[in-house]
Amino acid sequence: MVKRNTRPSKRREKVHGRISTLSPSPNTALIIVDVQREFPIPPALVRKIEAYSRLFACRIFTRFVNPVGSFFRRKLKITCCAPGSMGTELLIAPSKGDLVLDKETYGLAPRQIRQIKARGITRVVVCGLETDACVLGIMYSLFDSRIHARVEPSLCWSSTGLHQEALDIIAMQFEPS
């Protein structure tokens, strides 16, 4: 298990050819979307997400879980990620104090938003996969809940080939925080 900084620090990080200054505060969390065994994420990206996550005092992991009878199974015929299956195993191990949210939808449920707000989180950085599905869905959930959010583009990925299109939608729909 990798040790994370418990104190927020200021760090310059190269992101998509530009330098952004990162200064996570105690009310800022990183949401790592569906980085789990079922999905074909490049191993180098998992390592980058894990390294970046050390900048945050609070990490929030989402995990897609698809129980029998779910809307995903009925409507989209997606049968992966049954509760307790290997496909739901997170590729980055959560640490004490991290929040793990099991979700059956693209976005976050109201009770999950309440869990985030209960921790005093008012701003989040979002990364993970799929950019054109769950990352985008979570961005809408956060916006609708009045939580300031931004995506870290270099730490998102899509297996569908729609990564850039999803980033374009995010750029048009959500003012940078």
Q: 103 in a domain, yes or no?
A: yes
Contact 81, 134 (CB under 8 A): no
Q: 169 in a domain, yes or no?
A: yes
pTM, to two decimals = 0.85
pLDDT, tens digit, for every residue of 86-127? 999 999 999 999 999 999 999 999 999 999 999 999 999 999
pLDDT, tens digit, for every residue of 149-171? 999 999 999 999 999 999 999 99
Q: In which domain, by residue range, is 48 found?
A: 28-173
Give every CB contact of residue 32 below 8 A, 6+ residues apart in sequence: 49, 53, 59, 60, 61, 62, 92, 127, 128
Q: 7 in a domain, yes or no?
A: no
Structure tokens at 46: 């998992």
Q: 94 in a domain, yes or no?
A: yes
Q: 118 in a domain, yes or no?
A: yes
Q: 108 in a domain, yes or no?
A: yes
State the DSSP H helix or E strand holding residue 153, giving kind and residue range, or none if neither: strand 148-157
Q: 6 in a domain, yes or no?
A: no
pLDDT, tens digit, for every residue of 28-49? 999 999 999 999 899 999 999 9
146 pLDDT higher than 90: yes
When divided into structural domains, the chain yields a total of 1
Instruction: Give the CATH number of the domain where residue 82 resides.
Output: 3.40.50.850
Q: 130 in a domain, yes or no?
A: yes
